[in-house]
């Protein structure tokens, strides 16, 4: 049976999810009650913000710790820390935010790549736009924010994992581009079954806990549609600009318009539309076959009051024996050259 002192010792190292200080430092363990006959532990915890997704995660963490150490049942109540305690640690939190990518003082510009539905080649556009920007002399990073359907590491042929140095995650670098992805933290391609608040916290970590260094551009490969992660990005990065990816098919363009409208409603400027899988060109005859129809990209651009940045045909990258990267087009590849033009247009709009 746990004693009050043992409960306090177990919970002292647990951190307030917003102040990032331990409960021992904040005096957050307000009350501990033990009912020995039922082996029940009741705890009152004071934190800086109550009734949040982070509070739910903290609740799970505390219950898990106490049950693991012998409690049969656990009762938890939360209250807010005194204002003076919050003020004491808030400056450090704000300073940490200011020094992170979200602080707005780093000079890094953000570009989100979005689509209305999956399977239109959004991740392919993200990685090739990033590599093309690097070829134009820019320092570039990618956050694979498509947390359920991460594919950036595979597309870029990344096989190693990030290192950790001084409590910071060091992104993996490939083709001169720094990359962080949920795929690095999942074993054996396991499915992700987290809910919104946990996913939001992971995305936040990609900004604040990764040692990005000096970046000119950070690209975000968003999940398709207008779900939690896309909304989190809109809230976290008010200065982010967006590229919308579609295929020529009218239904793909129709659903992509929703992602575009979401960007407009949250004051995210749309840089333009990329029409992927625009056509297939026969190597024998040179004729173009419009496999998925025509006009989707142009129509979407008209709806969103923007322009088509490029129309990309169906074509595989060159096969190279000494370099595995199934989604990256070489600089001299016809589609690599198209991405170069798209990247140049994006730079012109970002730096005008």
Q: Which of 98, 125, 145 is the last residue of a domain?
A: 98
Stated pTM of the model:
0.69
Is there a single domain that holds both residue 288 and residue 247?
yes
pLDDT values of the chain reduced to their tens digit, one per residue, 352 residues? 789 999 999 999 999 988 888 999 999 999 999 998 888 999 999 998 887 767 878 888 999 999 999 989 999 999 999 988 888 887 554 545 444 565 555 688 999 998 877 788 899 999 999 999 999 999 999 999 887 778 899 999 998 888 888 778 889 999 999 999 888 877 655 555 555 555 566 777 788 788 898 899 999 998 876 556 666 666 677 678 999 998 898 777 777 777 777 776 666 788 999 999 999 988 888 899 998 888 888 988 888 889 999 999 999 998 887 778 889 999 999 999 999 999 999 999 998 7
Helix H, strand E, coil C: the string for the chain is CCCHHHHHHHHCCCECCCCCCEHHHHCCEEEEEEEHHHCEEEEEEEECCCCCHHHHHHHHHHHHHHHHCCCCEEEEEEEECCHHHHHHHHHHHHHHHHHCHHHCCCCCEEEEEEECCCCCCHHHHHHHHHHHHHHCCCCEEEEECCCCCCCHHHHCCCCCCCEEECCEEECEEECCEEEEEHHHHCHHHCCCCCCHHHHHHHHHHHHHCECCCCCCEEEEECCCCCCHHHHHHHHHCCCCEEEEEECCCHHHHHHHHHHHHHHHHCCCCEEEEEECCCCEECCCCCCEECCCCCCHHHHHHHHCCCCEEEECCCCCCCCCCCCCCCCCCCCCCHHHHHHHHHHHHHHHHHCC
Is there a single domain that holds both residue 142 and residue 153?
yes
- Residues contacting residue 100 through CB under 8 Å, at least 6 positions apart: 106, 207, 208
Question: 24 and 12 in contact (C-beta within 8 Å)?
Answer: yes
Domain count, the chain: 2
List the structure tokens of 223: 């999940």
Residue 178, phi then psi, degrees to nearest 5: -85, 135
CATH number of the domain where residue 64 is located:
3.30.300.130
Is there a single domain that holds both residue 68 and residue 149?
no
Is there a single domain that holds both residue 313 and residue 193?
yes
Q: Which of 45, 77, 98 is the last residue of a domain?
A: 98
Q: From CA 256, how far away is CA 315, in angstroms rounded?
A: 23
User: Regarding beta strands 288-289 and 29-35, do their DSSP bridges make them parallel or antiparallel, or are they unpaired?
Assistant: unpaired
CATH number of the domain where residue 346 is located:
3.40.50.300
Q: Which of 69, 98, 127 is the last residue of a domain?
A: 98
> Of 317, 234, 312, 330, which Cα lies nearest the Cα of 273?
312
Domain span at 41: 4-98
Q: From CA 317, how far away is CA 238, in angstroms rounded?
A: 35
At residue 65, the pLDDT reads 93
Q: From CA 296, how far away is CA 165, in angstroms rounded?
A: 46
Handedness of CA 251, 252, 253, 255 (dihedral sign): positive
């Amino acid at each position: 049976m746990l004693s009050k002192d043992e409960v306090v010792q177990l919970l002292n190292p647990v951190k307030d999810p917003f102040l990032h200080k331990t409960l021992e430092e904040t005096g957050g363990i307000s009350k501990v009650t033990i009912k020995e006959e039922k082996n029940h532990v009741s705890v009152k915890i004071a934190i800086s913000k109550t009734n949040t997704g982070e509070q739910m995660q903290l609740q799970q963490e505390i219950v898990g710790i106490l049950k693991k150490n012998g409690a049969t049942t656990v009762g938890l109540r939360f209250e807010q820390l005194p204002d003076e305690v919050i003020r004491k640690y808030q400056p450090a939190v704000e300073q940490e935010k200011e020094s992170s990518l979200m602080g707005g003082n780093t000079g890094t510009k953000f570009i989100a790549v979005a689509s209305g539905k999956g399977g239109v080649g959004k991740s392919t556009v993200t990685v090739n736009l990033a590599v093309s920007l690097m070829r134009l002399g820019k320092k570039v990073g990618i956050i694979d924010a498509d947390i359920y359907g991460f594919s950036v590491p595979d597309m870029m042929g990344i096989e190693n994992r990030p290192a950790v140095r001084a409590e910071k995650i060091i992104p993996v670098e490939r083709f001169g581009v720094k990359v962080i992805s949920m795929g690095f933290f999942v074993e054996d391609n396991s499915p992700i079954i987290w809910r919104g608040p946990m996913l939001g916290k992971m995305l936040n970590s990609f900004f604040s806990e990764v040692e990005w260094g000096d970046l000119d551009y950070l690209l975000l490969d968003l999940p398709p549609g207008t779900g939690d992660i896309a909304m989190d990005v809109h809230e976290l990065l008010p200065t982010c600009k967006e590229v919308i990816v579609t295929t020529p098919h009218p239904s793909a363009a129709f659903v992509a318009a929703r992602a575009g409208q979401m960007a407009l409603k949250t004051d995210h400027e749309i840089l333009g539309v990329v029409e992927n899988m625009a056509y297939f060109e026969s190597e024998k005859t040179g004729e173009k076959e419009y496999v998925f129809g025509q006009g989707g990209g142009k129509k979407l651009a008209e709806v969103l009051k923007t322009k088509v940045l490029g129309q990309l045909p169906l074509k595989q990258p060159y096969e190279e024996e000494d370099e595995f990267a199934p989604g990256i087009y070489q600089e001299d590849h016809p589609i690599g050259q198209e991405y170069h033009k798209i990247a140049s247009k994006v730079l012109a709009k970002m730096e005008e």
